[in-house]
Amino acid sequence: MTQPDHQRIAVIGGGVAAHSALKAFLAAAGDTVGPTTVDLFTRESHRPYRRPSVNKDILIDGKGPEDVSLPGAVFDGSENVDVELHLSSEVTAVDTADRTITVNGEQHSWDQLIFATGASPRHLDAPWLEGRDVHYIRTPEHSTSLRDSLTALSADDNVVIIGAGILGLEAAAGASALTEATITVLEAQDDICRRILPAAAAGWLRGKHTAHGIDIRCGLSDEDISSAVAELDPAVMVVSVGLDRDISLARSAGLDVGRGIVTDEYGRTSVPGVWAAGDCVEIRAEDGTVTLPEDEGSARLLGGIVGLTMAGQETDRFLLSPPKGWSRQYGLMLNLAGATGRPVQSGQPGPSSHPSDHELVLTSDEDELVVFSLESRSGGESVVSGVTTVGRSPVVRKAKNALGMTLTEVESEFFTDGALIPST
């Protein structure tokens, strides 16, 4: 790909996707990319940090954003790439014809542009929230504010969390470590974490929360939730009911948008020279598969693909790498790989777009879990499409490599005479 004598790349957003795109671009640039200036604009006052740490290190351990920052070496640039990090810089307009963006009232030019605008917590407009101490979690400031509220409670107080997805349950686990108040989780779906966990894993995780005194109520109507809030009269509320992708700038700029900024599997948008990665995107593959990434691993993966492709290097498309995620609750690490979710009650699948047909539990005890999500293929054979694990035993380590195995191969590899083969 022919590069201009000097190019300027603008990146809107300062999360993992932006950081990964910059890191990959610098690694690939070498002598193949001419003199380049990269301007990274983020509305936040902190250097890019790991978003999952907001719910963990900052909320539970009281750390600050500087403690969870992503490696800063990428902002030093390289011999032929200068990097300028613009903190507290709000991009308010994008002009794809003139190739400019407006930041804090000033215009900046660009030759290539990356949208890494992320997403925001979905807010609820409900009368039962009025007048209460309501928290949403996305930024370090959010977690610090929630931590302050929780640590001020007594054992006579109630905490109510709306939403039993992974983030809501992480908030519940974090709250239980910070306060002796009674914690209740209210969920409209008939089970926890339907979008990303198989049923057996959801049951295992729910048991962990119950053992720590968390009351989880599922299958609730709006009226049920309203009544529960009135009954509990919580001193603190946390709302975790999903994300709204930040696509307003892209829409105003004339990019194709759906539920997110529409891209292909390489992060290319509908406008040449404009890319997108992270929670803000809706990936539409050539085979019709639609993916709505909502995890750090996917942001890192697509960001890296964008950076490499911009530098003129060939790279695998997004869907060739299975999505991966993790959650740490009560000192245990829950690891996910592939399509592990189930359809939600509306009939729409989770972020993986291919929910599993059935599942196989290899092992499940207090500190260890292995669940294979299985997908039926033509010919009647079932294939491992997702792996959910907890623990570090040899069986768990072996199971993490089972993606793509047929059920016949799983039986041969893991079982003998119907019993799980011990691994050493």
Q: What is the CATH number of the domain that holds 145?
A: 3.50.50.60
DSSP code for 28: H
- In-domain check, residue 304: yes
- In-domain check, residue 2: no
For residue 267, give every residue at least 6 positions away whose Cβ sits within 8 Å of its Cβ, in sequence order, or none: 114, 275, 276, 277, 281, 302, 303, 305, 306, 309, 318
Residues 305 and 328 in one domain: no
Number of structural domains (the chain) is 3
Instruction: Answer yes or no: are the C-beta atoms of 83 and 74 closer than 8 Å.
Output: yes
Which residues are registered as beta bridge partners of 267? none
Q: Domain ends where: 320, 340, 359? A: 320
Residues 237 and 264 in one domain: no
Q: Domain ends where: 220, 241, 262? A: 241
Q: How far is it, in rounded angstroms, from Cα 8 to Cα 31?
A: 17
Residues 156 and 294 in one domain: no
CA angle (327 as vertex; 325, 331 as ends), nearest 5:
145
Residues 133 and 234 in one domain: yes
**What confidence score (pLDDT) does residue 137 get?**
94
pLDDT tens, position by position, for the chain (424 residues)? 445 578 999 999 999 999 999 999 999 987 678 899 999 999 999 998 888 888 788 998 889 888 889 888 899 888 889 999 999 999 999 999 999 999 999 999 999 999 999 999 999 999 999 999 999 999 999 999 999 999 999 999 999 999 999 999 999 999 999 999 999 999 999 999 999 999 999 999 999 999 999 999 999 999 999 999 999 999 999 999 999 999 999 999 999 999 999 999 999 999 999 999 999 999 999 999 899 998 999 999 999 999 999 999 999 999 888 888 999 999 999 999 999 998 775 544 445 445 566 899 999 999 999 999 999 887 778 999 999 999 999 999 999 999 999 999 998 888 876 666 655 4
Nearest to 354 by CA among 375, 324, 323: 375
DSSP code for 129: G
Q: How far is it, in rounded angstroms, from Cα 217 to Cα 56?
A: 23
**CATH number of the domain to which 376 belongs:** 3.30.390
Residues 112 and 179 in one domain: no
Nearest to 300 by CA among 321, 274, 272, 327: 321
Q: How far is it, in rounded angstroms, from Cα 262 to Cα 166?
A: 25
Q: Which domain holds residue 75?
A: 7-120+244-320
Residues 315 and 235 in one domain: no
Provide the token pair at 74.
């990428």
**What confidence score (pLDDT) does residue 2 get?**
44
Q: Would you give the distance in Å from CA 17 to the centre of its chain?
A: 11
Residues 282 and 200 in one domain: no
Residues 138 and 103 in one domain: no
Residues 236 and 130 in one domain: yes
Residues 31 and 113 in one domain: yes
Measure Cα distances from 162 to 59, 146, 165, 216, 245 in Å. Answer: 17, 14, 9, 10, 20
Nearest to 359 by CA among 370, 346, 344, 345: 370
Provide the token pair at 127.
């009368």
Q: How far is it, in rounded angstroms, from Cα 322 to Cα 340?
A: 11
| C-beta neighbour count of 7 within 10 angstroms | 18
Q: How far is it, in rounded angstroms, from Cα 51 to Cα 72?
A: 16
- In-domain check, residue 342: yes
Provide the token pair at 43.
């509305």
Provide the token pair at 167.
């983030």
Q: Determine the 3-state secondary structure of 404 from DSSP.
A: coil
Strand-by-strand arrangement of the 36-41 sheet: 81-86, 36-41, 7-12, 112-115, 274-276
Residues 288 and 350 in one domain: no
Nearest to 20 by CA among 280, 283, 298, 228: 298
The amino acid occupying position 223 is E
**Residue bearing tokens 């308010």:** 92
**Residue 358 main-chain phi, psi, to 5 deg:** -155, 180
**What confidence score (pLDDT) does residue 347 get?**
46
Q: How far is it, in rounded angstroms, from Cα 29 to Cα 46?
A: 26
Residues 158 and 236 in one domain: yes
* C-alpha dihedral (379, 287, 166, 56), degrees to nearest 10: 120
Q: Could you tell me the pTM of the whole model?
A: 0.90
Q: Domain ends where: 241, 260, 281? A: 241
**What confidence score (pLDDT) does residue 383 get?**
94
